[in-house]
């Protein structure tokens, strides 16, 4: 029997740049997409933004989502983290400390109609940084995935801060398939002072956010989401990144 499900990934930009105003845009996008699995980067620990979205989704969609959250380490542990929301049952969780720049990865083994699926969420070194560090992180990530080879079907979601021509993404692509390659960064999101995010980059000219798949998972459709501003404010976007959605099937 074939099993279909929808995955969404989005970098939330913590609680910066008018989060209280951006949050309804994120919720409206999730209401429209109705995903089964939601991967989130840069959730705010102080504001508990992932838990807030979990509670809102229950009333918005009429479906309860389980939450798994992993804070970053050291000085960032009280600031931001990675998170996964899913309507599927959770069998186990785990985490990886890259021991570089306080960054982490998390894994959640979920049961899709009883079939185990490992969903990884991670956020790699910043886009202006040396890709050698992202390459090292991908090497660690793949080695970790290899230690969990009792499940062959895996998804890796998140902000890789690398385009597909960079060594870190090239290595990732030797083992996983990206569901899409359309630009995801950076939106013209501006703060109250009018300053846009990442002013040193052009707008929406690169794909750095991915849903990667392997095993028997087939991509039926995929695209970019959270890629429109508020109707009455062209500087207010759901985040400084667009997101990615994918309809997948076993």
Chunked in runs of 10, what are the mean pLDDT values of the chain (250 residues)? Answer: 94 97 98 98 97 95 96 95 98 97 97 96 93 97 97 96 97 98 97 94 97 96 98 97 97
Please report which helix (H) or strand (E) contains residue 138, including its range: helix 131-146
pTM exceeding the 0.85 threshold for the entire prediction: yes
Query: Where do the domains of the chain lie, and which CATH numbers do they carry?
Result: 4-239 (3.60.10.10)
- What's the confidence (pLDDT) of residue 54? 97
| Strand pairing category for 37-44 and 4-11 | parallel
Give strand pairing partners of 197: none
Question: How many Å apart are CA 197 and CA 191, to the nearest integer?
Answer: 8
Q: Do 99 and 74 contact (CB within 8 A), yes or no?
A: no
Per the structure block, which two tokens stand in for 131?
């890709």
Kindly list the distances between the CA atom of residue 214 and the CA atoms of 53, 107, 152, in Å, as whole numbers in the listed order.
Answer: 28, 15, 8
In the 8-state DSSP scheme, what is residue 75? Answer: G
Q: What is the pLDDT of residue 129?
A: 82
The residues, any chain, with a CB within 8 Å of residue 40's CB and separated by 6 or more, are 9, 10, 11, 12, 50, 53, 82, 83, 84, 85, 121
């Amino acid at each position: 029997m074939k099993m279909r499900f929808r995955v969404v990934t989005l970098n939330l930009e913590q609680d910066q740049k008018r989060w209280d105003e951006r949050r309804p845009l994120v919720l409206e996008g999730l209401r429209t997409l109705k995903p089964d699995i939601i991967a989130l980067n840069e959730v705010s620990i102080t504001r508990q933004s992932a838990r807030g979205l979990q509670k809102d989704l229950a009333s918005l969609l009429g479906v309860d989502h389980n939450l798994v959250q992993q804070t970053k380490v050291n000085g960032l542990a009280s600031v931001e983290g990675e998170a996964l929301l899913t309507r599927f049952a959770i069998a186990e969780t785990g985490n990886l400390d890259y021991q570089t720049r306080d960054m982490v990865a998390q894994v959640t083994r979920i049961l899709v109609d009883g079939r185990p699926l490992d969903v990884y969420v991670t956020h790699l070194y910043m886009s202006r940084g040396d890709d050698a560090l992202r390459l090292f992180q991908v090497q660690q990530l793949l080695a970790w995935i290899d230690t969990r080879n009792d499940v062959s079907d895996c998804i890796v979601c998140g902000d890789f801060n690398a385009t597909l021509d960079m060594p870190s993404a090239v290595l990732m692509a030797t083992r996983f398939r990206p569901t899409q390659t359309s630009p995801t960064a950076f939106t013209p999101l501006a703060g109250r002072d009018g300053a846009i995010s990442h002013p040193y980059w052009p707008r929406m000219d690169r794909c750095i956010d991915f849903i990667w798949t392997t095993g028997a998972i087939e991509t039926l459709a995929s695209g970019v989401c959270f890629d429109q501003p508020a109707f009455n404010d062209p500087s207010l976007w759901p985040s400084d990144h667009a997101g990615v959605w994918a309809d997948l099937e076993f």
